[in-house]
Every structure is written in structure tokens, then in C-alpha cells.
Amino acid sequence: MAAVTAFVGAGCIDGTGSALLVDSAIVVRDGRVEWVGPSSELEPTRDLERVDLSGTYVVPGLLDANVHLLLQFTPDVLLRFEPGDYDELVLEAAQVALAAGITTVFDTWGPLESLRRVRERIDSGEAVGSRIFLAGNIIGNDGPWSSDFAAGFGDAVSPDLVERINRHWVQGVGTDLTWMPAEHVRGAVREYVATSGIDFVKYSSSVHALVKFLAFSSDAQRAIVEEAHAAGMTAQACSMTPEALKMAIDAGVDLLQHGDVTGRHPMPEETIDLIAARQLPCVAFLVTERNVAAATSEEKLGIMDGYFSKRVLVKDENDRKLIAAGAKLLLGNDMSVFGPTARTHPLFGPRLSGPDPEMHLGRSHLYWLQAAIERGMTPMDALLSATRNIAEAYRKDDEVGTIEPGKRADLLVLDGNPLEDVRNFRRVVNVVKDGVIVDRNRLPEHPVLTDPDRHVTADST
Amino acid sequence: MAAVTAFVGAGCIDGTGSALLVDSAIVVRDGRVEWVGPSSELEPTRDLERVDLSGTYVVPGLLDANVHLLLQFTPDVLLRFEPGDYDELVLEAAQVALAAGITTVFDTWGPLESLRRVRERIDSGEAVGSRIFLAGNIIGNDGPWSSDFAAGFGDAVSPDLVERINRHWVQGVGTDLTWMPAEHVRGAVREYVATSGIDFVKYSSSVHALVKFLAFSSDAQRAIVEEAHAAGMTAQACSMTPEALKMAIDAGVDLLQHGDVTGRHPMPEETIDLIAARQLPCVAFLVTERNVAAATSEEKLGIMDGYFSKRVLVKDENDRKLIAAGAKLLLGNDMSVFGPTARTHPLFGPRLSGPDPEMHLGRSHLYWLQAAIERGMTPMDALLSATRNIAEAYRKDDEVGTIEPGKRADLLVLDGNPLEDVRNFRRVVNVVKDGVIVDRNRLPEHPVLTDPDRHVTADST
Amino acid sequence: MAAVTAFVGAGCIDGTGSALLVDSAIVVRDGRVEWVGPSSELEPTRDLERVDLSGTYVVPGLLDANVHLLLQFTPDVLLRFEPGDYDELVLEAAQVALAAGITTVFDTWGPLESLRRVRERIDSGEAVGSRIFLAGNIIGNDGPWSSDFAAGFGDAVSPDLVERINRHWVQGVGTDLTWMPAEHVRGAVREYVATSGIDFVKYSSSVHALVKFLAFSSDAQRAIVEEAHAAGMTAQACSMTPEALKMAIDAGVDLLQHGDVTGRHPMPEETIDLIAARQLPCVAFLVTERNVAAATSEEKLGIMDGYFSKRVLVKDENDRKLIAAGAKLLLGNDMSVFGPTARTHPLFGPRLSGPDPEMHLGRSHLYWLQAAIERGMTPMDALLSATRNIAEAYRKDDEVGTIEPGKRADLLVLDGNPLEDVRNFRRVVNVVKDGVIVDRNRLPEHPVLTDPDRHVTADST
Amino acid sequence: MAAVTAFVGAGCIDGTGSALLVDSAIVVRDGRVEWVGPSSELEPTRDLERVDLSGTYVVPGLLDANVHLLLQFTPDVLLRFEPGDYDELVLEAAQVALAAGITTVFDTWGPLESLRRVRERIDSGEAVGSRIFLAGNIIGNDGPWSSDFAAGFGDAVSPDLVERINRHWVQGVGTDLTWMPAEHVRGAVREYVATSGIDFVKYSSSVHALVKFLAFSSDAQRAIVEEAHAAGMTAQACSMTPEALKMAIDAGVDLLQHGDVTGRHPMPEETIDLIAARQLPCVAFLVTERNVAAATSEEKLGIMDGYFSKRVLVKDENDRKLIAAGAKLLLGNDMSVFGPTARTHPLFGPRLSGPDPEMHLGRSHLYWLQAAIERGMTPMDALLSATRNIAEAYRKDDEVGTIEPGKRADLLVLDGNPLEDVRNFRRVVNVVKDGVIVDRNRLPEHPVLTDPDRHVTADST
């Protein structure tokens, strides 16, 4: 392509909240937006390559505020990539996301080294994929093969091996911190943010697998947030009960991670009001009405009897109230890439098997957007939930989230107006990242989990 | 006995901190102390019966700040007393305590109805035993056959039966509360203190079985303490990490339950200073040097690898610092009565099998007192830890804890001066409760766990 | 009653296979039948008390060839009767059986000492109940709280206690024998039959809990049978596969215990022919068509996925073929008395919860008889399956099984002809044992498992 | 090399039992021995290449009668080679064996397809490795991730995956056969021997993981052996108790697989006499005295408490008696190649961790030979146990086992006389297979389990 490109003729919804700009022109130079306006105002320039987008609609490349580029940590997947080189899996997921128009992902828990390596390869242009921002570990959690996630996974291999696998996630800020005085927690976090190369901080307010318990005292939570801020990072907390949520808010977090999940009890009205009043960014795990019905009609999850269905109903009630109160919700829902063996696995199966499954990166964001509309969000707000608002929440709004001069030229080109019908988000014509049209047919380049012929996932012989 | 009795001739250490009164007289009327002074000042009275205690030493009847009158909740014990009539077991323990000179016990977790019934029978004089004050459930905990204590215990019986057994402990303030917003917790506790007949409130700051996690937010903890106070009760928290302890102190508890246990990390200096400065009563799980050595030299507990030994060392370090700082420590250590099957049980065996076992009601308090001396406590302070200080901490000092006019005439008569040699606490001559000499040879009247010939415990054909 | 009694006027089906004798008289002296004939031939005698049975039908008191007087070995039951005094439970079951007209039971696995004590109390007239013949242990099996029956039951108590409980069943002929050379097995069995006081020998051809495996070699099986015969006892084998059955037959057993159960594969035709040709007594676990339908339509048993339903269908096919071939089937089906907690227990629930439950002593024999008719047995053969044929198989036909001179005067008096309608077995008018009319309303005298108000079973607060 | 080669100058022990031939010449043509005799009788020939072996000793290439080329079926190994292409592992083991002088191995349980493929590659000369004869599955056993071997291994992956892995071993003759009538077993075995490409038949007389139980009736065992013989194959049985061994002998097996292992009870004298009298080939799991001492002094195996040590002592007693009686013992002991994670694994660790570990292919045969001498075997008999006798037992004595005209020219060249000192078996100078000197330094060519730098086994960051 030429040094300067103009994407011309599309209806443009720029993600700032402004109305549709008919017959727009978007001028891109060096991967960034230089100018946006009516195509009629575009002056013919010598070096400018015109890309005709007549009849299409352009929105900012989407963002996802809660992704795990590697989440299927079952032995059949992880043991194949011993000792801990998961780059291939991470890149596959980043490419699946990009092909679907999600040009930026926020990875909120994963194997640090592999995530970091793939982030760098993509940033440097060596590899194609969604732009990655990453948290590494959820501070306070042990690794995937521990009681925090899936205690039994390591039973059949040697303790050394289990420890080695977990280490990729733990990174020195694991469950040991939950034993510590607050000031020791502060020290460990300070070290972590200084040396790990992460982009933002995430910690456990709720204990992950046990849900109802708390991992850190208020003092410790405040210490973590302060250390994140001192390092110029945003901080977020994983919370799953009303009190864990409240503690995180009081600790000063910048983003509530699945803040709509409050376990068995609905969010108190005061908390809803607080979130709305402060416009505290809140990732919401929205699911469609069809999925709510399926999750609650069937006996879907045996693991914590009845809890799952109850949780879904409580969450749905919270979501409706938050939207009605004008809270700032963000798109996200543990989306990742899964192989066939995940579908029959008790840990992942339930959330992958509904009519509108929640966790498929590249697909489930469409159900999220539909669910937002179903719950009363305006089409424009739904779009902002997946673009500008996420960028602002993570303080990356100088780079991404809108189509404005100076921003990365990340565009999603659709075959219909998504403000008229949310299903038009499915009609992807093109994905542009850093001003370049993505060759979506090539992605993922090296399918592992997504390739039925590859042996990790195949069900042959 | 006559209406008025005088115990004459003993050296009296009255538990107020005053020095030994040689050749004392203690006049008792209607079960209470009427007068204490030199026997030379005792006027001959008509109706006064003299009990000659020449050559002995009298101290206040001992108190134990952390007892569980029923702790061996193994199936072989509980199922024998279905459906939940554990009175016989509770009374046995109360009699074992009394026979050893512990005239008042604070039961900090147990089956509410049985505890209440036995408390009433003893208070009314219908039964003989230690005076009981009780907490019922530790708020936030599920029953004994749950993941909070011993998850596998109910596996072989029907779920109905497990639920029925747990219900005796749970009493409406179980693990459900950990899911709740703080104001719901407040409501449940208000109801509990109003209707349960308990004497004081205990709640989980640390999660019981998981140790390192927190059960309640700061707001919820404050709500619990406020409700206890509003009902005129003291409140205490179970804490096992530095932060759980700190949260409990911040919530305003009146007593720190095993406050010296801080898991893997020693108590921060600031917390030690705070406890000492405020003279916050703190039950300490003191164990002798012999026991510390045994617990840490052997691989004693496999359950949480290495944790046990580490915990013992950390606790010991905390204890020494607290004593040096002048903190107000109280005697207690999960003491109870156990049958033979407990000794080989992984849950109880380790703490029952050291050279100076920690948990034997009627015996282990002697090791506690010895351990206090070993760690630098003065003999007088050791005595106060087991008498006046406990009474004050629980706000029962108008009734028990010292030998002063108006107080219950609870006396422990020893064959040697315990201030000279702590081992003299073993040389029990007599136990007096409410002014009456206890017939110690009869106790326990109906041995169950303590009787090798009774079938629950027997190992015969 | 007088020394001599005549039961007069009933239609008598004497259990020899002879046709109904209308208006019969049965003369009983000293508990035994003295004479049977038309009442018209009965000479008026001085000392003879006449019991008018006009309008009723008399059959021999029923026998059950496979009963366990104590089968609910769940902790809530067994631990209540520590250390091993289960007499109360055994007697309750013997009384439940007697009240239903089952005057003789063959207990094929149970706690030896309690069974023996209750057998003696009933035989001596000290207690009322069914006549008991007993096997004690199934040779080769460990106790109820072992991997042979319910491995997890003892997990929550001490190993000593588990061992002590199992010992009541094991009696020196447990799973140790499966490790031994055949001649050592012989020695252990010789000792057992000589000293245990059992009435007949039962051993494992199939391994109990693992079903598909074999416990003993052909040589060892022959040694067991030979030792039983040398001691004048019958021998039977527990078999659950075609080969285990065949090995037992080849070893010379006198009775095939649930010989119709062959697991996943139907019984080979040759085996059916062999059983029929030799008239080898075979206890069959007949269940009604309704129950077969229920067991196979639902996913009834999760324990061994799908196995249960398959087993039911295979068994049913075997039963039909055996009946068609003229095999000598005997009534039996693990019948026992159960408390409420058994119904929700995975081990017992499935076989107690069908429309026509299989295992209720006192009730399920009625379904057995109905099932026999459904599968093509003649009414007379059905009656013989529950009377004479069992007596002959166990070589007790000189005592019980028919109404003939010299036999025990055990009678079941019905309100309708059971040969006309098998449901008439339900219409019990009277039960006579040893010539005496049983006071059925009193039985069981001391309900435990059968009493909803007793605490072992109650589901109250 | 030339078409004809002469290995000249070595002392030759030809494996027929004949005495040492000093200064021998072994003429090899087309991979087979053409002539053996004193080198002085060797006529100078044109095309003959002379290999000078002066100062060395030549014995036949060794055979191992019980090898598993792939035995470490832990998830970290198997999942890396999904879906079931274990050729690399099998070949590695075959090369480890060859490099140690074991020129022929009998694989008695393993993944059929991979074993078959590697066997063919070696036979065709495409790959270098020991000559392989294989049994595929042990008839009656389920796969490695089942209750027959390691039930928990598949818990963390999907059931589909577990089934797929097990299928590589099961091959249609798995645990289903234990449910079948004997004639069905016969049919399944007939099909298996006809279609599977195996070299010999192995079946379970003892149940593998449960040890003390029996998998097949005598009739079924006979049917299996008959089908093997009808297909021209030898048959062997896995037995672990006296009776399982006896049943196998009675069924007509050609070889007793670890026939010296009889569990908790020593082999009866009659069985010893029978084995000796019939000269029934019997693989014995000989271990050195040092190892017996280690296995029985420590509490080595917790899996089946005490059983392991008992088993070792019983086996050792059997071994001594069998040797004294002149039984024909064969070398073998589950030898395989293991990676570092096996050493800390409870399933393999105990037998890999003694002073003279039992199961290391390429090393542990040296301990076996030493143990044979320790137990009274003559040096010549020890050599025959590892050469001619194995060849005869498997009916491969027309091909391997001795240095005689017509046989494969498989030679082990040693630096000392192994009949003088059994430790001379360690002093390997050269290994010759099919007349060609093996380049031992290259083996294994592609180390996986044996390479500390390869990631399956590495314990690095």
C-alpha cells in the first residue's frame, strides 16, 4: 500500500458517540488516522491510495475487556507444549480474535512469558494478531493446576511437573500473598509491576475457586491498587460477591472485573448507584435471554449444585439494573479458543454449550452485543461498550477505541448498519489494523485448538 | 453444709494481682464470697462451718477461654447420639473440666441446643459441672461435616442426615452469610443474638479450614460486632493470618481468639504494639518447648505440608513477643475430651500426640501454664491469664475470676504454692464451686469418651 | 393352647405339589403336624382345640432363600450399635419376616455373632421371629466397610474402628483366602465350619464389588464345597458372570445363589440345560415387568454406568429361559429391613425405589411371586419356589417346606386361593409358626429401622 | 562389510551349554552364522573380512523375556504423542536395549500399532534397534488409564480422550472379555490372533491391579491357550497368586510370566516340583540381595500397605527354591525406558529407586544376572536364562539364542569371561546384530525419555 490510504464511501460510526457520518473518508498515514470527514471534503492527493468502501459501515476495531488467550489448561493441551512454550496457542487465539474484528484484547490471566513474547511479536509486526495488553497472574492466585482452578489436573504427573506448569502463571504473586501482612503484599506487588512487563494489574478480591471467600483484606487491596497506580498502571479486581465488589471499589480500582457477578445475592442498590454515579467501568458478563433460559431451565452445572443457575439469574438482574441506572458496562466474558475436548469437560462445557455460548473468542462477543440490546442498552451504547469505553477504562484511549485523528487506524467494516440491527456486527467485510487490511482467510495461520485435523484435538483412530 | 462456710488456713492468692495472703480465711454465704482476710480477723460465728485448709494454697477456680465441650465430631461419636442429643457428651466434658479445677469454661463452638441444655442443668444445680458460657456457632461457618471442618465425614451416609447433623451447629448463621451483603449479615446476626440464647458472639475472620482466606469484609465484620454489642454481648473473631487479625481488631472485637496464630507470617510489630497498648485480651495457644520441638522436628502433619510446623514456630515467636510487650494473654487451646479413636485420627491426632498434648481438657491447661512461664511470663501473670483476665475479657468479672466479696465462691485448693513452682497447679487438693466442695472422685459421672470400657471408645471384640 | 390343635375348614395346599384339599383339617401336636386330611375324617378328640379356618386357604409358611437380616450397614446404623451388638436389628428383621408369613429365612451374609444369638433366642422360644439358618460370611469377602462392599464408609473414622466393624462379618474367612493356595483355603474353611456355628456355607465365585472377576480357582472352589459337605452342610456360591456360575456348578455346589444374574452376557444355553437337567436349585432375583421397565427406561444407577440396566435385561432373559426349561428356581432377592436413610443412598436406593421394590423383607416376596407368574411359571410352581423347593435345596425338608406329618407346623393362612390369583398371597389372615398363631400386630416388638419415630431413622429436627 | 565376515580370536560361549571355545572363529554370511569353530580351522577365503576379537569373549546377543518398550504411560509422556503415535518412544527403547547388548526383546504389553510399526522398520533394516516380538494387549486388561493400571490418570481430560488412549492398548481384547462366557472369549481371541499381527499371546490369569483376583475361569483360560496354539503362537499368562499360577499351568501355557511372583503366599511345593519336572519356562523377577534388603527394610510402597515388602520376600523364597529344584528361569522384569518424572511417581518410583533398580532397560539385566548367581544358579545357567532358554520358550530357537550355523548372527562381545565373573557382562566391547557391528555411540538416535535436555523430561524453568 501507499504511504497514505483513504477508506472512502462507508457510513462511519466513529466510536465517540457522534452520529453516523454518511459517505465518509478516513485518511490513514503510518498506521494512524490522519483525518476523518465527508468524502466530499477529501482532496485528491497524489500519493493517496483510495479503498472504496461504498455500501459498507465502518466502526472502530472492537476491544474485549476480558479475554484469556490461553484458557484451556487441560493436561492434553498444556502437556503438549512442555516446558511451557505456549506461544503457538496464544498467537492462534490472537489471530482468531483479529479475524473477527477484535483488534485489541485485554488478557486478564495467562502464562506471562508466552503472552509477553507474542505481544512483542505482534507489536513489532513480526506476527499478525490482535493487539495485546496483559495482566499476567491474578495477584493472589495459584496456577491453573491448583485448588484455585483445577486441583485434580496434576494428580497423575509428578509434583515437580505440576509446580513447573503453575509457575508460568504464578510469577511470584501467587497464593503466598494471601498469607502475608499487607505491607509484605505491597512489596511483592511493587516488585511484580516493576519487573514483569505487564500492562495492568489484576488481583483477587474474591477467592477464585471458592468464590464466596475473600483473598485480601481492605488494607492489602489498597496496597495493591496504590502500587499499580504508582507504576502508572490501572488496577482491577476479580470479585464474585457483593462484599468483594464493595471492597474492591473502596480500594480504588479503576475497573470492576465481572462486577455484575455477585454470586447468590443481588448487588445492593447502593452499590449500583455508586457504580453508576462514579461511572466506574464494569465488565459485565452479559448473556442472551436464550442462554439465561437454558442455564436456568436445565440442571446445567453439577459442580456447585444449583449455584450456577442462581448466579446466572442474579447476574441478569444486576445487569438490567446497572443498564437502567446508566452504568458504564464493558464487553468481556472469559473468551478464549477451545478445542473439542473442552466441550465435554465439566470445567468449560457448561459455558460453551448453551445455545449462544459465552466464551468463544471471535463469536461470543456477538451474543454479548445482542444481550446488551435485549437488556435495554441503546445500540450506540452497546457499540461504545466494545470500543471507546474499554479504551478509556484501561487508559489506552490515546491509542485505540475511536476513529479519530492520531489514533491507531483499527477499523471494522460491516455490510450493514450495526446501530439499526445489532446482528449486523456479524456481517464482517473487512478488518483493518494499523491501517492495513487483514487477510482474514489466512487466520489462524497455524491452527492448533481450532483445527480438527491437528492431533491435540482430533478424535480420530 | 451450713449456710455460711469459712475456708481457713490456706495461703490465698486471690487473683486480683495482690500478693499471697498467708493463713487466710474465706467466708462463703449462699455460694458467694462474703469476706476474705487473715484468719486471725475471722470472728467466731455460730452458724459458720470451718473447713481447715492449713498447709494448702487457694487460687480462684480456673477459667478456660477456648474450650469445645464437644469437639470429637467423628461419625463414631456423633452417630451414636442421633438425632443430635449430645447432652451426655457435653456434660461429661464439663465434669472433666470441673474435676481438674476449671470451674468456668467458655465454649467457643459447639452444638447449640445440647450446650444450652447442659448449661441450664448446671446453673440450676440439677447437674454438676463447670459453669458454661457459650457462643454456639462461629458465625460464617458451616457444620462439622462440611468443607469448613471435615468434608468427607458425611460421605457414607445420606445427604439428609449430614444436613441434619450440621444443623445443630449452623443455627442459621452458617456459610450462607459469607455470600451476603454486609447489611444482610447484620440482619442474620441480629436475629441470632436475639433468639439463640448464646452468651457471647464469635465469628470467622479467617475461613476455618482454608485458613488463609477471609470470610467477611470489614463492613460485615463491623456489622457483626455492632450487633453483638447492641445485644450486650462481647464479640470475638477467629483469625489465622496477620490480616484477618488486623481486620478483627479494626472491627472492634473484645477478644482475639487464638490471636497469636498468624499462619506462615509472624505478626507485624505494629499489631503487637497495638494489642499491648490497648490491652486487648488475646487467647494464646501456648505450647511447651518440648512440644514445639516435637512439632517441628518431626514431619508431624501431612495435611497441609509443612504448614503445621511453620505455624507452630511463627506462633511461638508471636507469643514471646506478645509477652515481652506486656500483652494480656488468656489461657485456651481448643481443649476438649477425646476418646481413643481420636488419637489415630488425622484431624485430632497431631495435637493430641505431642509429649505435652495441647487439647486435653483437664490436663493441657497445665502445659499452657508451664509454657507461659517458659516464655517469660511471671507466675502471677500466668495465674491472671487463667482467672481474672479471662473473666474481664468476657465481662464476667462481676461473677468469677477472683476471690473477692460478691464473687462466686469458686476455689482451687492446691498442695503447693503455684507462684513458686508452676507445677504445683497439678497438686489439686480440692475444687470448690459456688462454695461447695466438689466430689471429684465421682466425675465424670457417666463416662463416655473417657471410659475405656464404654463401647464408643473401646477397642475390644 | 391345648397340647393338640386342629386347624379346620381351610382349603389346604400342602406344598408337596398335591392339589388343593378342600375343607381340610391339620392336626398339630408339640409344634409339629401330626395329621393332615379332610376335616370329615377328623375324629373328635378330647384334648383337641379346634381353630376354625372356614373360608380360608392354608399354605406352608413361606421360606426365603436369600435374606440379609441386617443389610443396611451404613455408618448411621452400625455406629449406633457399637461395638457390634446388632441383635436388636436382626431380631426386628426376623419379626418383620414372620409377620408377613415368612416363617423361615436363610441369611446368606451377615454379622455372625448377632445372627447366632438371635437364632438361638428364637429357637429356644425366648424370642419371636422367623426361624433362622445362617451362613455368616461369604467366604472370600472382606467386611461391609471394605472395597468388597462400600470402601468409603470407614474413611471418617479410625482404622481400628473400621477393622473392628468388619471383623463381625469376616470371621477368619475373608479376603485373605483369595491370596492363598487351594489347600490353605481348605484348611481355613474346615476351621470355619467346625467352629463358627453356621448352618450352611456360602462363598464368592464372583468377586462381590468388582463383579466380573473371580475370587477362587476351580481347585479352591472344590475344596470349599468338599469341606462343607464333609461337615454335613450344603454349599452355595455367589456368582455374577456366566463363567463364575459355571465354575460353581463344576465345583459341586448344592444351590446357585442368584444364579440367574450373569452380568452383561446371557447365560449360555448349555448352562441353562445343565441347570434344568440336574434340577440344580437356583435362587432367582425375579422382578416384575413394571420394575424391569423402570430399571431400564431410566438412567437408574450411576455407579457402574449402564451396567445396572443391562444386568436387569440379561437377568430377565435368563429367568424366562430357565422357567421355560423347567429349572428349579427359588425365591430370594437380598431382602432386608431398611430405614429412611437407605432410600436416598446410592448403594440401596436404586433397588428400593422401583414401582415394585425388590429388597423389602415382608413385601418384596409378593412381587417375586407375581414376577414368577408373569414369566410363565405355574401358580403351583411359584408356591413350591417359596416353600418345598427351598427346604429341599437347603436339606431342611425334614423340618419345613410342606404341611406333612412330622414337619414343623408352620402355616400361612390366606383369605383367597393363591393358585387362582397370586395376589391372594397379600391377603394374610394368620401366620402359624410351630403350631402357634403369631400375634402379628405386636411385630416388630422394638422397631428400629422400621419405626419413623426412632431416632436412627427419623428425619426430624 | 564384505559378503562374508569372520569374527576371529575371541573366547566363544555359544549359548548351547557347551564349554568355552578358545580362540574361536565365527563366520557370518548374509546376517547368519555360517560356521563356528577354532580359528585354526578357518581357511583363508577371498571374500572374507576378518574382524579381530583377540582378548575378548563372545556370547549370543542377549534376549529379554519381559520388556515393555513403552511403560511410562504418565500423562506428561502420552499426551505429548497424541493421537497415539508412540513410535519415537518405542524406537528409543529398542535402541537403548540394543546398545546394551540385548539384541532381541519380547514386548509383553504395549501399544499395538506403534510396536508393530517399529518392529517392521527394524526388521526391514530401515531403523536400528533390538529385534522385537510382541504380544500387544494382555488379554482381559483395559488400557493404561483404567482401573487395571492407573485409574486416576484420565481424570483431568475428557472421557473421549481417555477412551482413545486406552484403545491403543485394548485392541478388542480388553476387560469386556472377563464378562463373557468362555466360548465368547475364544471367539474374541481367535479374531485377535488372526488380525492383530502379534507374535505371541499373553493373557491375565491374575487381575492386574487387583492382584489377588482372577480374570478368567479355567475353561476360558484353556480356550485362550488353544486359540494361540491353533494360530501357531505360544501362550503365556500373567499370574500373581499361587492359584492363578496353577490355573495357568493347567490351562497349558508355554511360559509362566513372572511365575515366581505369588503374592503373599509362597508357591506350594507341588507347584515348584511341577515347574521343575516339566521344565516349564518361567520368567523370574530376580532382584539382588541389596535390593531385597532395601525393599523390605524401608516402608517402600504405601500403595498396598506392606504388600510390596511381603511380595518381595515371598518371591525371593520362591526364586531360591525354583533354582534349587532346577527350574528353567528366564530373564525379565518389566524393563523399560523412563524419564525423570517417573522417579518421583508412586507407580514407578519404588522399583526404580532401589540400589540396584529393577526396571531400567539396558542396565537392570545386569542386576538380574548377578541376582541369579547370588541365588545359586551356575554362571552357565545364568547365561542360558538370558539366551537359549528364552528363545526356546518363545519357539524362536531356530532364529536366535545361540551361536550356531543357521542362526542370526547376534553377538555380544565382552572384555572378560562372564562365566568367571558375572560382572563381566558389563564390559561390553561390541554388539553385533545380524552380523553387523552396531554403532552403539549413536544410540538412541533421538533421545526423548533418556535425554535430560528434551522437554518432556527436563526439569528446567
Strands lying side by side in the sheet with C57-60? C11-12, C57-60, C411-414, C428-433, C436-437
Cα dihedral B431, B437, B439, B443 in deg (nearest 10): -50
Q: Touch between chain D and chain C (3+ CB pairs, < 8 Å)?
A: yes
What residue type is D120 in one-letter code? E
| Residue A133 bridge partners (DSSP) | A106
Q: Which of B337-346, C118-127, D163-172, D428-437 has the lowest mean pLDDT?
A: B337-346
| Residue C433 bridge partners (DSSP) | C436
Which residues from B are below 8 Å from C80, CB to CB? 79-80, 82
Picking from A341, A360, A336, A337, the residue whose alpha carbon sits closest to that of residue A460 is: A341
CB pairs under 8 A between B and C: 93
Which residues from A are below 8 Å from B310, CB to CB? none
Contacts of C313 by beta carbon, 8 Å cutoff, 6+ apart:
C292, C296
Residue A234 CA, chain-centre distance (Å), reads 15
Nearest CA in chain B to C345: B158
Q: Residue B80 and residue C82: Cβ atoms within 8 Å? A: yes
- Give me the percent of chain C exceeding a pLDDT of 90: 80
Chains that touch D (3 or more CB pairs under 8 A): A, C
**Residue D373 burial by Cβ neighbours in a 10 Å radius (0-12, 13-18, 19+):** middle
Contacts of C223 by beta carbon, 8 Å cutoff, 6+ apart:
C182, C183, C185, C186, C189
| Residue D255 bridge partners (DSSP) | D236
From the CA of D439, how many Å to the nearest CA of chain C? 48
Nearest CA in chain A to B185: A243
**Per-residue b or e along A225-247, where b marks 16 or more CB atoms closer than 10 Å to that residue's CB:** bbbbeebebbbbbbbbbbbbbbb
Q: What are phi and psi of A92, to 5 degrees?
A: -55, -45
Q: How far apart are CA C359 and CA C297, in angstroms?
A: 20
Q: Residue A157 and residue D341: Cβ atoms within 8 Å? A: yes
Give the mutation candidate from A73, A78, A79, A112 for the D interface (greatest D CB count, under 10 A).
A79
From the CA of D339, how many Å to the nearest CA of chain A? 11
Q: How far apart are CA A297 and CA A292, in angstroms?
A: 8
Q: pLDDT, tens digit, for every residue of B26-69? A: 999 999 999 999 999 988 766 789 999 999 999 999 999 999 99
pLDDT at B371 over 60: yes
Q: How far apart are CA D27 and CA D24, in angstroms?
A: 10
From residue C329, alpha-carbon distances to A206, C272, C278, C320, C366 in Å are 63, 12, 12, 11, 15
Picking from C211, C135, C221, the residue whose alpha carbon sits closest to that of residue C178 is: C221
> Nearest by CB to A344, which of D82, D159, D458?
D159
pLDDT at C367 over 50: yes
H/E element holding B104? strand B102-107
Contacts of A58 by beta carbon, 8 Å cutoff, 6+ apart:
A7, A10, A11, A12, A13, A24, A26, A403, A411, A412, A413, A414
Picking from D212, D256, D209, D211, the residue whose alpha carbon sits closest to that of residue D237 is: D256
CA angle A232, A235, A239 (to 5 degrees): 175
From the CA of D169, how many Å to the nearest CA of chain C? 20
- Whether B341 and B76 have beta carbons less than 8 Å apart is answered as yes
**Residue B349 burial by Cβ neighbours in a 10 Å radius (0-12, 13-18, 19+):** middle
Q: What are phi and psi of A253, to 5 degrees?
A: -65, 155
Q: What is the pLDDT of residue C298?
A: 52
Q: How far apart are CA B234 and CA B236, in angstroms?
A: 7
Q: How far apart are CA C305 and CA C299, in angstroms?
A: 9
- Whether C131 and C105 have beta carbons less than 8 Å apart is answered as yes
Q: Residue B241 and residue A179: Cβ atoms within 8 Å? A: yes
Q: What is the pLDDT of residue D82?
A: 78
CA angle C332, C333, C339 (to 5 degrees): 125
Q: pLDDT, tens digit, for every residue of A336-379? A: 999 988 887 878 887 888 889 999 999 999 999 999 999 999 99
Q: How far apart are CA B55 and CA B9, in angstroms?
A: 7
pLDDT at B302 over 60: no
Q: Residue C212 and residue D182: Cβ atoms within 8 Å? A: no
Nearest CA in chain B to C80: B80
Chain A residues contacting B via beta carbons under 8 Å: 175-176, 178-184, 207, 210, 212-220, 241-244, 246-247, 263-265, 268, 271
Q: pLDDT, tens digit, for every residue of C337-350? A: 999 888 878 788 87
Helices then strands (H, E): number in chain C? Answer: 15, 17
H/E element holding A298? none
Which residues from B are below 8 Å from A242, CB to CB? 180-182
Q: pLDDT, tens digit, for every residue of C65-79? A: 999 999 999 998 998
Q: What would the grid cell of residue C332 be?
A: 430370594
Q: How confident is the model at residue B160 (pLDDT cuts 50, 70, 90)?
A: confident
Q: Which of A41-50, A108-117, C265-274 has the lowest mean pLDDT?
A: A41-50
DSSP strand pairing (C11-12 vs A235-238): unpaired
Q: How far apart are CA D122 and CA D94, in angstroms?
A: 9
Alpha helices in C302-442 (DSSP H): 307-324, 340-343, 349-352, 364-374, 379-385, 388-393
Which residues from B are below 8 Å from A310, CB to CB? none
Q: pLDDT, tens digit, for every residue of B406-429? A: 999 999 999 999 999 999 999 999
pLDDT tens, residue order, chain D (461 aa): 457 999 999 999 999 999 999 999 999 999 999 999 999 998 876 678 999 999 999 999 999 999 999 999 999 899 888 777 999 999 999 999 999 999 999 999 999 999 999 999 999 999 999 999 999 999 999 999 998 888 788 888 888 889 999 999 999 999 999 999 999 999 999 999 999 999 999 999 999 877 889 999 999 999 999 999 999 999 999 999 999 999 999 999 999 999 999 999 999 999 999 999 999 999 999 999 999 988 876 554 444 456 678 889 999 999 999 999 999 999 999 999 999 888 877 788 878 888 899 999 999 999 999 999 999 999 999 999 999 999 999 999 999 999 999 999 999 999 999 999 999 999 999 999 999 999 999 999 999 998 755 433 333 32
Q: What are phi and psi of B335, to 5 degrees?
A: -70, 145
CB pairs under 8 A between A and D: 91
Q: Residue D180 and residue C242: Cβ atoms within 8 Å? A: yes
Chain A residues contacting D via beta carbons under 8 Å: 74-76, 79-80, 82-83, 85, 150, 152-161, 164, 167, 340-345, 455-456, 458-461
- Give me the percent of chain B exceeding a pLDDT of 90: 80
Q: Residue B207 and residue A213: Cβ atoms within 8 Å? A: yes
Q: What is the pLDDT of residue B453?
A: 52
Chain C residues contacting D via beta carbons under 8 Å: 175-176, 178-184, 207, 210, 212-220, 241-244, 246-247, 263-265, 268, 271
Cα dihedral C374, C379, C382, C386 in deg (nearest 10): 140
Biggest CA-to-CA distance, chain A: 68
Q: What are phi and psi of C7, to 5 degrees?
A: -95, 115
Biggest CA-to-CA distance, chain C: 68
Sign of CA dihedral B101, B107, B111, B112: positive
Nearest CA in chain A to D349: A158
Give the mutation candidate from B74, B145, B157, B449 for the C interface (greatest C CB count, under 10 A).
B157
Cα dihedral B222, B226, B228, B231 in deg (nearest 10): -170
Q: How far apart are CA B52 and CA A14, in angstroms?
A: 99
Q: What is the pLDDT of residue B454?
A: 46
From the CA of C179, how many Å to the nearest CA of chain D? 5
Q: How far apart are CA A197 and CA A117, in angstroms?
A: 10
Q: How far apart are CA A66 and CA A61, in angstroms?
A: 16
Q: How far apart are CA D284 and CA D371, in angstroms?
A: 11
